[in-house]
Amino acid sequence: MQSRENHLAGIVRRLAGAGRPSDQQLKEDAERLASRLASFPEYNPNPVVETDLDGNVTYMNPAARELAGDAPSRPSTHPLARDLGPLLGRLIRQGSGVQSREIFVQGAIFDQKLLYIPEALTVRIYSSDVTRLKAAQEAMRAASEEANKLARENQILGEIGRIVSSSLNIDDVYAGFGEQLRRLITFDRLAISLVNLEENTFTNAYILGDEVPGRQQGEVTSLEGTVTNEAILSRRAIVIQGSTQELKRRYPNILKYPSVVLAPLIYRGELFGVLNARSSEHNTYRDEDAEMLSRVASQITPAIANSLLYSDIVRTQQDLARSNSDLEQFAYAASHDLQEPLRTIGAYIGLVRDRYAHALDDTAMEFIAYAADGAERMQALITDLLEYSRVDTQGSPLEPINCTTVVKNALENLDQSIRQSNARVELSPLPVINGDRSQLSRLFQNLVGNALKFCRDDKPHVRIWAELHDQEWIFAIKDNGIGIAPEHQARVFEMFSRLHSRAQYSGTGIGLALCSKIAQRHGGRIWVESEVGKGSTFRFNIPVVA
Amino acid sequence: MVSDIGDRPIEVLLVEDNPADFRLAQDTLEQSHQRVNITHAEDGEVAMAILKREGEYANAPRPDLMLLDLRMPKKDGTEVLAEMNQDEDLVSIPVMLLTGTEAESSLLESYSIPPSRYARKPLQLEQFHRALGQMGLFSRQPIQVPTQQQTQAASESSGSGRRWWWPFG
């Protein structure tokens, strides 16, 4: 004590003006002074209490006195000195040293250091209020825990999202997320129920965990009296739990589980299902589980909706393929079976005309001519129809075909009409494409044939060429004929559509429909640009040979 | 020409289920100015009974030429042909097939049946004359067309699953 006070006196002397100390010196001296003063309990801003070896308070500093409030000026007890028993024993046995503890006093937490001073038979207790520090630490710990939890949840959600998006197969989608979900929510049974609001039913499309008879995968259940219905009505995630009797009273058809959390599956505003987790324990779920399930639901919703849509598309495609094949079969069989009786009609009409002309008057012969014409036209229709129905089913495999050769061949077939109409046909060199020779020949023959047929009075001029655009050839057949009005341009490719009376222009109305189908089979399509009175240009595209 | 006919009429077995087609063929044969004796079988079963001279057909003449419709109820032309080809006595009878449609003709073509051995109905006079002229030739070259059962079996074993292309059923 003596030397300490001497030293202090030195400092005070220096502060009083002996020499001119630097600011740095002053600052260091002030700090040292403060630290020295703190070791004097009387100057310590924190509460300091001293007790004897029995724990009776022998001294308290101003801060401790303040804390004790109305206590008498020299009490033998102090809140900061309570329950010292075991600690005192330990200190005294050690003979020296320090013990620490935390104590809760007047709504605050104090960290205490107990110092045994044997020469004074005294225990000095330094206390510092760590309430705010503790609170901050606790807040930090909670925040970091929350952050970790969120990070983990997000990681699992992300994992679920990745799994469910990785396949369009609905079973993969379901299988992928169920087990992941276990890491987020406890459950004994998890189900994805797809609802049919029109019929007020639902079907469990996926179940993980307990199987319940009557509610197994694929079984159709009425929504009435179920918690699923409650989730549909509320359109948000909900927790439903309580005593079995109470739940049974509110939801007569509820499963035996006392705790349920449900989240609706809503895609683009349309509710199509409910994700639900159930537990056999009471009060398993909290609101945050509903929130979590809701997040899971929004994570898996697009994938489920997509895969449902996808299976719809696949089913529709299969239906379409089946109906197409049926239709082709029908067209083929019908065409076939129609031909025989028609041939009989034609043959007998021919016999009557040839053998009984002498016995018939002009009117009878005229009637017979109409009948014969009808039979011939029907024969033409059937032939065309048959050809149309065979484009996809009876075509040859596509192979490299020189279109110039094909068109020359088609022009030879049209030789008679070309000469009769005195037409000029200009053929530019055409590319080699992947195609079916006889179908391409039919395509060109029909288009050039039309160009010759639908001509104006002057001499027909037909040009045929091809242009390369990106990865496809665009073929063009241009004429100077009567043209097609804009409102009719799309219709000309429809089956049996005719723009002109049979008396004006003959034909079955299948020719361009056939062209369109052939273009489609070759991976392209056909279209027309035309102006009435100026002519038409028919174009079709075919991919370039790879 | 066929030498063993001599002065007797040419025996033609006309197997045709459709009365209109039968009448047309009969008319064509009558127009030929040949002496033709026509026996009519309205389906393949009757045709076989006549060929084998069963029951009421015990005294049926052996045909010099058989005109055989491909598409018939009960037993169709291909089956009759298959049975005849199995029969030593009947395999030498000249057969000309009658087809109802272009598709049937194409099918026969795809089976490498010579064009002289089938005619698209209605039978034309010149086709009949050509058949008469080639009778001797026909009898040494029996033709074979797979029956519906055979083609079905083939298509099933090949797994194509296309059942409809067969135009005779």
- Tens digit of pLDDT for each residue in A381-405? 888 888 888 888 778 889 999 999 9
**Among A333, A343, A383, whose Cβ lies nearest the Cβ of B164?**
A333
**Residue A290: which pLDDT band, with cuts at 50, 70 and 90?**
very high
| Topology agreement, domain A2-131 and domain A147-314 | yes
Interface of A with B in 197-216 (CB under 8 A): none
The predicted model gives A489-514 an average pLDDT of 78
Cα–Cα distance measured from residue B73 to residue B84, given in angstroms and rounded to the nearest whole number:
18
**Among A332, A344, A393, whose Cβ lies nearest the Cβ of B20?**
A344
Which CATH number is correct for B10-157, 3.40.50.300, 3.40.50.2300, 3.40.50.1980, 3.40.50.1100?
3.40.50.2300
**What is the pLDDT, as a whole number, of residue B116?**
86
Residue by residue, DSSP assigns A287-328 as HHHHHHHHHHHHHHHHHHHHHHHHHHHHHHHHHHHHHHHHHH
The predicted model gives A523-543 an average pLDDT of 92
Cα–Cα distance measured from residue A327 to residue A112, given in angstroms and rounded to the nearest whole number:
94
Domain ranges of chain A: 2-131, 147-314, 391-543
Q: What is the pLDDT of residues B96-155, one digit of tens each?
A: 999 887 778 888 888 888 888 899 888 888 888 888 888 887 777 788 888 877 766 665
* Residue A112, number of CB atoms within 10 A of its CB: 21
Cα–Cα distance measured from residue A327 to residue A337, given in angstroms and rounded to the nearest whole number:
15
The predicted model gives A39-45 an average pLDDT of 78
Q: What does each C-alpha distance from A530 to A427, A462, A506, B20 come to in angstroms?
A: 20, 14, 21, 49
User: CB distance A386–B100 less than 8 Å?
Assistant: no
Q: Which amino acid makes up residue A453?
A: K
Query: Number of A:B CB contacts under 8 A?
Result: 32
Most confident option among A311-315, B35-39, B120-124: B35-39
Residue B94, preceding bond cis, omega within 30 degrees?
A: no
Q: Which chain B residues are Cβ-neighbours of A333 within 8 angstroms? A: 164
* Residue A154, number of CB atoms within 10 A of its CB: 11
The predicted model gives A422-435 an average pLDDT of 92
Q: Tokens 């080639």 belong to which residue?
A: B134
| Cα-to-chain-centroid distance, residue A356 | 78
Q: Which chain B residues are Cβ-neighbours of A332 within 8 angstroms? A: 164-165
Max CA distance (Å), chain B: 55
User: CB distance A343–B122 less than 8 Å?
Assistant: yes
| Cα-to-chain-centroid distance, residue A216 | 26
Tokens in use for A425?
A: 């046909």
Query: For residue A205, which phi and psi values (nearest 5 degrees)?
Result: -85, -20
* A438 at B interface, C-beta within 8 A: no
**What is the pLDDT, as a whole number, of residue B160?**
40
Contact (Cβ atoms closer than 8 angstroms) between residue A512 and residue A446: yes
For chain A, the residue count is 546
**Phi/psi-derived region of residue A279, left when phi > 0, alpha when psi is between -120 and 50, beta in every other case:** beta
Q: Which chain B residues are Cβ-neighbours of A383 within 8 angstroms? A: 102
For residue B121, the chain A residue with the least C-alpha distance is: A343
Cα–Cα distance measured from residue A291 to residue B136, given in angstroms and rounded to the nearest whole number:
95
**What is the pLDDT, as a whole number, of residue A14?**
63
* Non-local CB neighbours of A334 within 8 Å, separated by 6+ positions: A385
**What is the pLDDT, as a whole number, of residue B163?**
35
**Residue B67: which pLDDT band, with cuts at 50, 70 and 90?**
very high
Least confident of A331-340, A360-369, B125-134: A331-340
The mean pLDDT of chain B is 82
User: CB distance A383–B102 less than 8 Å?
Assistant: yes
**What is the pLDDT, as a whole number, of residue A6?**
64
Query: For residue B64, which phi and psi values (nearest 5 degrees)?
Result: -80, -25
Query: For residue A315, which phi and psi values (nearest 5 degrees)?
Result: -65, -45
Q: Model pTM greater than 0.80?
A: no
Tokens in use for A297?
A: 């639901």
Domain ranges of chain B: 10-157
Q: Tokens 């039919």 belong to which residue?
A: A442
CATH fold of A147-314, please?
Answer: Beta-Lactamase (3.30.450)
**What is the pLDDT, as a whole number, of residue A60?**
85
Least confident of A121-125, A287-291, A499-503, B27-31: A499-503
The predicted model gives A232-243 an average pLDDT of 92
**What is the pLDDT, as a whole number, of residue A5?**
59
Q: A391-543 — its CATH code?
A: 3.30.565.10
SS3 label, residue A349 = helix
Most B-contacting residue of A327, A338, A343 (CB-CB within 10 A), to test interface: A343
Least confident of A121-125, A284-288, A540-544: A121-125
Cα–Cα distance measured from residue A159 to residue A141, given in angstroms and rounded to the nearest whole number:
27
User: CB distance B100–A340 less than 8 Å?
Assistant: yes
Q: Tokens 């209490």 belong to which residue?
A: A49
Interface of A with B in 317-356 (CB under 8 A): 329, 332-333, 336, 339-340, 343-344, 347-348, 351
**What is the pLDDT, as a whole number, of residue B13?**
96
Q: Tokens 């206590």 belong to which residue?
A: A71
Question: Does this complex have an ipTM over 0.90?
Answer: no
Which CATH number is correct for A2-131, 3.40.190.10, 3.30.450.20, 3.40.50.2300, 3.30.300.30?
3.30.450.20
Q: Tokens 């101003």 belong to which residue?
A: A62
The predicted model gives A11-32 an average pLDDT of 69
Contact (Cβ atoms closer than 8 angstroms) between residue A112 and residue A100: yes
User: CB distance A343–B167 less than 8 Å?
Assistant: no
**Residue A303: which pLDDT band, with cuts at 50, 70 and 90?**
confident
Interface of A with B in 393-432 (CB under 8 A): 393
Using the CB atoms, write b or e for A6-30: b if 16+ within 10 Å: eeeeeeeeeeeeeeeeeeeeeeebe
For residue B22, the chain A residue with the least C-alpha distance is: A344
Query: For residue B6, which phi and psi values (nearest 5 degrees)?
Result: 65, -130
Q: Which residues of chain B have a Cβ shorter than 8 Å from any chain A Cβ?
A: 18, 20-21, 24, 27, 100-103, 121-122, 162, 164-165, 167
User: CB distance A386–B122 less than 8 Å?
Assistant: no
